Chain A
Amino acid sequence: MSQTLTFKVRAPSGETHTVQVDSESTFGGLKAALSPVVSIAATEMRVVCGGRILRDDDAAIQSLGLADGATLHVVRQAQNSQQTVSSPAAAASQARSPAAANPLFGGMGGAGGMPDRDQMQAMMRNPMMQALLNNPDLMASIMEADPRMQAMAEQNPEIRRMLRDPAFLRQMTQAMQNPALMDEMQRNQDRALSNIESMPGGMTALSGLYSSMERTQRALEPTGPTVTDESNRLFAERIGADLSDQSALPNPWAPAATTSSTARPAAAGAATGTVPNPFAALSGAGAGAGANPFAFPQFPTPAAQAGVPQPGAPANNMQSDPFLSALLGMNLANQTASQGHGQTPSNQQPNPVEVQAQRLQMLTQLIQLQQAMQGAQAGVAPGVASQQPQLPFFNPYANPYAFTAPPAATTPVSPTPAAPAIPPEERFKDQLEQMNAMGFDDNQKNIKALLAAGGNLESAINYLLSM
């Protein structure tokens, strides 16, 4: 006689559920019943009970000896043991592929068209990339999922056929992994292109292709100016700057910088009253400005900042940004009285010290975020990708003086009512617990990773693994 058997189910997430099945059904039926509860496809599911892995789909439940009320543990099938069956693997990563495709191409697009050699290498090292490249079907499905690719494919069915061709995909993946091969392919392409004029109708085909691609690209770029009032306001909120503050920005080259003359070569220039060459920083002295002035604007490190309480810091900051220094012109010999932010006691700002401290804290977090973004650019991080709409284009002109260090460098960064008063250990308590369970014991590192990832557990873990 058939009865209903009740089982407790332990999902991989740790949650317990209850499931009821008819005692006459098979193990396959049990898996089907479990599937929605633990959100694992029946083909990928492994069930363990009483120390045994249950395998036989056709076995009757009774023959498996599962007692009523027993606990079943359910685990997702390990990915690498299903390479031959690409559809379950694709199904599993379908959820990841839109997220993967967009940061993938978004990351590449963000780097400016085709990423350069080093970035490619860094991207390749990302283990997810490796898994991706080893599975050409998955690769094809991801590329097709990308809206930009889809648009291109609509315009030009050749592309779609190309994407499906396994030989082509294999070539592509090999090329991506092997830079020498990539070079070869490029050279062949260039040679073919240069010969295109000799083919009748070649030029027109090329120009047609180019214009259609350009149209697609243009359509997908953000319309309108990327720096809007709204983005300004959001950014100011993020760093805790006060937009309503209309007071004039401090004069970085004011003579009050005498005390910092030993701190930096740049500040020394200012202190002695000579005209510091803003571009001198680019060629050498700019601490950490980096050789590429057009790279993503780098902030002075918080350590450096805290150490230089004077306008030497903003001077350096500005010198590392050629646009900014050009903008501010060469008005360097300005000897007027300093209005150093927080320098003079008579300051219109309410509570300047605390505001500065708050900004410093926000800045630290921003920098870590930025580092994480750059480090995991090919990344998995949908958390980070979602940051991008908020900061569509990093605006170096948005209140650069927000980054001036507090005048008393020894002022501890105390949480203000405006700043988050909850310490990171508490904010990330859940994530930390999960990370500890997974074996990441070093909570300091965990917290740093979580801060860099904005609290997103997956990206924090990837950050830790990529360190």
Chain B
Amino acid sequence: VPRNFRLLEELEKGEKGIGDGTISYGLSDGDDLLMTNWHGTIIGPGNTVHENRIYSLRIVCGPEYPGKAPLVSFASRVNMSGVNQTNGKVEKLGCLDAWKSSYTIENILVELRREMGSPANRKLAQPAEGSMF
């Protein structure tokens, strides 16, 4: 599937609202024909230290997407395993490490949210809300 087709599809899905409403993503720059830069948000899972917090992310879909995984990094500060604490880059995530071309931005965000709720991450002390990397 050509890259642009795929990205257009994902754009539509993002605008319509996916899943249970706890993740959202969209183009950073509406005029970008190459659709490289995306913004995403994750609403922290309930009953964890992330509850009611909204985390922003930046996703960069390179020219080889979806063949190659996008680059994902947190814009909002978060304390989580797999996230570089200096620059917010997501360095370790299941779907990114074992990327398949059928994976989508939605998959990435959903998996990140699930990671937040994992026993390892759900009680970690978090930086103040609103602080950015």
Contacts and interface: CB of A to CB of B under 8 A. Distances in A.
A340 B121 CA distance: 57
A52 B56 contact: yes
B22 to A, nearest CB: 8
Most buried by A among B40, B51, B54, B57: B54
Nearest to B29: A65
Contacts of A71: 15-17, 21, 24
Given A73-B17, A439-B122, A51 B43 contact: no
Interface string B4-19: 0000000000111100
Interface residues of A, number: 31
Interface in A4-37: 8, 10-11, 14, 16
Contacts of B128: 81
Nearest to B17: A71
B25 interface: yes
Interface residues of B, number: 32
A467 to B, nearest CB: 13
A430 to B, nearest CB: 15
Interface in A419-444: 437-440
Contacts of B21: 10-11, 14, 16, 71, 73
A51 B14 contact: yes
A77 interface: yes
A446 to B, nearest CB: 12
Contact of B38 (A46, A51, A78): A51
Nearest to B59: A51
A53 interface: yes
Given A53-B41, A73-B17, A440 B56 contact: no
Contacts of B17: 8, 10, 16, 71, 73
Interface of B: 14-17, 20-22, 24-27, 30, 38-41, 43, 45-48, 51-54, 56-57, 117, 122, 128-130
Given A10-B17, A53-B54, 4 more contacts: A51-B26, A51-B40, A78-B53, A439-B45
